[in-house]
Amino acid sequence: MSSSSAAQSVVEHIVLFKLKDNTDPSKVNAWVDGLNALSSLGLTLHLTAGALLRIRSSPFAFTHLLHSRYKSKDDLAAYAVHPTHISVVKEGLPFCDDIMAVDWIADGLTGPVGLSPASAIRVTVLKLKELGEAAKGEVLEAIKGIKGKFGEVGQVTIGENFSPGRAKGYSIASVAVFKGVKEMEEVDSKEELAKPEKDKVTEYLDNVIVVDYVVPSPQSASV
């Protein structure tokens, strides 16, 4: 996977899946392996897929996540229509109860683009009430402020979703990257530090999805 310490702009792509409870685990494992193999297409800067660590907040019972990064919207579009990608997605459709996807431009990303195994990520996706642009900007700034209070957060990206088709009306998303689960849980223990920023935006929120995920090693991506 590519990495860089210079500030750059990448495209974030998150897909959340809810798999049926009675699905044969061997089929799920093969499908997750197929998702992770999409990193070989050469269009992605980073790609990881697997079971969620936990759901912290969500009206949907998601079970799995795919996170990938791209140099541009064009690369994401090429990935989306690539025959291998389409084939892998179709393999999973019979045992997927629900799918949601969000895409955003991560301006000013610093640090590695490719995330190391055992890295923990927290994905937050917001559904806003009907707002003007000023209020939407306030929400974005408040979220940036929350993430900035915690030194344990190694990397944060946030932006407006530009692919509304499968987003269920959710319009703002962010990814916070931690060295591991320990660092993520240290942030949770200091949650009160973020209360002022959270209070600023609560009135604007219709719903919130927050899920945690740990990047697996290539040998343990199956679940």
| Three state DSSP letters for the chain | CCCCCCCEEEEEEEEEEEECCCCCHHHHHHHHHHHHHHHHHCCCCEEEEEECCEEEECCCCCCEEEEEEECCHHHHHHHHHCHHHHHHHHHHHHHEEEEEEEEEEEEEECCCCCCCCCCEEEEEEEEECCCCHHHHHHHHHHHHHHHHCCCCEEEEEEEECCCHHHCCCCCEEEEEEECCHHHHHHHHCCHHHHHHHHHHHHHHEEEEEEEEEECCCHHHCCC
Q: How high is the pLDDT of residue 200? A: 77
Pick out the chain residues at pLDDT < 50. Answer: 1-4, 222-223
- CATH for 8-217 is 3.30.70.100
Q: How high is the pLDDT of residue 1? A: 44
Q: pLDDT digit string (tens) for 9-35?
A: 899 999 999 999 999 999 999 999 999
Give the residue extent of every domain in the chain: 8-217
Q: How high is the pLDDT of residue 145? A: 73
